Structures are given as C-alpha cells and as structure tokens.
Amino acid sequence: METLKVIKIGGNIIDDAIALENFLMEFSKIEGPKILVHGGGKLATKLAEQMQVEVQMVEGRRITNAETLDIITMVYAGKINKNIVAALQKNSCNSIGFTGADGNTIVSVKRPIKEIDYGFAGDVTYINTKVLETLLNNHITPVFCAITHDKNGQLLNTNADTIASELAIAFAKKYQTQLYYCFEKNGVLLDVHNDDSVVENINQEKYQELLKEEIIADGMLPKLNNCFHAIDQKVDKVCIGKSEMLYNQNSKFTTIQAS
C-alpha cells in the first residue's frame, strides 16, 4: 500500500517568511503523494485590529462572528494559501489551494451552542476523497487552509489540526497514511523548559501514564486527543515536532502509534 503524508504547519512557520520559504523548499522534495494543511498565523489578528474588528478568544480558540469570518477568509484562503501555492510552484511542486468548499472536499456543520457560542466555527462531517485522489494520482498536491463549508452556502472556520487529522483518516482505507503536526517544539516534552526532553514514542499505555503524572496538560491535550483519534481510525502513525523531522534524520520528535 502506498504511503500518503498529511502535513500540518502552524503559525511558527506561517509568521516567519524565511522559515516558510525553507519549509516549502524541503516539502517540495518529499516524494510520493502528500497533502499540506496550514493555519492562519497572526496575520488575521493584525488585519482585524487594523479594521477595528474585535478579536475574541476563549481558551485559545477564536470566536468567529460574521466580520471575523470575512477577515479570515481573505487571509487564510487568499493571501496565505495562494502565496504558499506560488512558492510550491517555484519549487516545482505542482499544487492547488483549497478551502473545504472547493470541489466539495470538506463538509462541516456549525458547532452547536453549548456553554460558549463559537459563531461560524465548523466541525468536520465529511471528506470527499474522490476529488483529491484524482489530484494525487496526477502528482498534484492539495494545499488546505482552515476553512470548510456546510453545503448550504456557509463557510466555516475550522481547526487546522482537525482538518489534517480527518484527511488522514479519510484516506486510511486507500493509503498507508502518516500524519505530521509541525509546531515550535521538538515534540511532547517531559519538561516544557527543556527542548531535549522529548518523549520519542507514545502509545495509549504511555499516554495514560503521562496524563496521570500531569506531564501532558493544557494546549497539548487536544492535540494528543486528535492524534489518538487518528490512530484509532487506522492512521498508521502520527508525528509531532519541528518541521525538520520531515527531512533531518537526526532530529528528535514524538511518534504516536497503536499499542
């Protein structure tokens, strides 16, 4: 079975022009089918401030009202996505930029209101693999921003980690899928102040140990829950660390696999 790599990059790369340029050059060299998913970085927040639109965050998650949705659509699907695609073309990596609305590739539902109303935030319900498989079979790399749609004309702001996870899961029947979360740390750390204290391998048993010892908490919890959800849905492995893990064999990072 052929391997498909789904790679997600966040603000630490998006917000640094040199880091992004270097990453896209290395990403272009990765052989075989691949999908890139990117977040929005700080640009949407900066533009909102310039347009005097209030930015509301609850526990690190953006409240997406109608004005905010307009801004993130311009930034995520426009400036960031198209600049990434242009840079990949420069590096001879043929690619197409996507929101979930394009090709009806990712359908979501508006998150129900519970304790908090997140506004136009979407939870993924469906991945259209047929359209994407046609591209992958023709050596074209899909590049997704963090926007989906509800098939009723409404765009929805959707967590990029979740989009990457759901893409890897959807393709797990046809490929040996590998999911890579690139962020600012070397991986899951035993000591957040020591970048060398990487937990290199985590299975479900090890995860429960780390939870009991309160080594994993706060922002890392939803990321690891995403990882284990992907593993439970037959994704081959999930890796967390700096983007160098994709091309530097000596780099340390965390690999998550089934027990």
What does the pLDDT look like over 76-120, one tens digit per residue? 999 999 999 999 999 999 999 999 999 999 999 999 988 888 999
What's the rounded Cα separation, in Å, for the pair 1 and 177? 10
- CATH number of domain containing 34: 3.40.1160.10
What's the rounded Cα separation, in Å, for the pair 144 and 81? 7
What's the rounded Cα separation, in Å, for the pair 90 and 198? 35
Predicted local confidence at residue 59, as pLDDT: 65
Predicted local confidence at residue 190, as pLDDT: 87
Give the domain extent around 60: 3-256
Predicted local confidence at residue 162, as pLDDT: 94
Residue 127 is inside which H or E element, if any?
strand 122-127
CA dihedral 149, 154, 159, 165 (to 10 degrees): -10
pLDDT (mean) for 182-202: 90
Predicted local confidence at residue 116, as pLDDT: 86
Q: Is 139 exposed, middle or buried (0-12, 13-18, 19+ CB in 10 A)?
A: exposed
The domain total for the chain is 1
Give the pTM.
0.94
CA diameter of the chain: 51
What's the rounded Cα separation, in Å, for the pair 257 and 259? 6
pLDDT (mean) for 175-196: 92
What's the rounded Cα separation, in Å, for the pair 102 and 100? 6
pLDDT band at residue 131 under the 50/70/90 scheme: very high
Predicted local confidence at residue 100, as pLDDT: 98
pLDDT one-digit tens code per residue, 32-50? 999 999 998 788 888 888 8
What's the rounded Cα separation, in Å, for the pair 71 and 59? 21
Q: Is 223 exposed, middle or buried (0-12, 13-18, 19+ CB in 10 A)?
A: middle
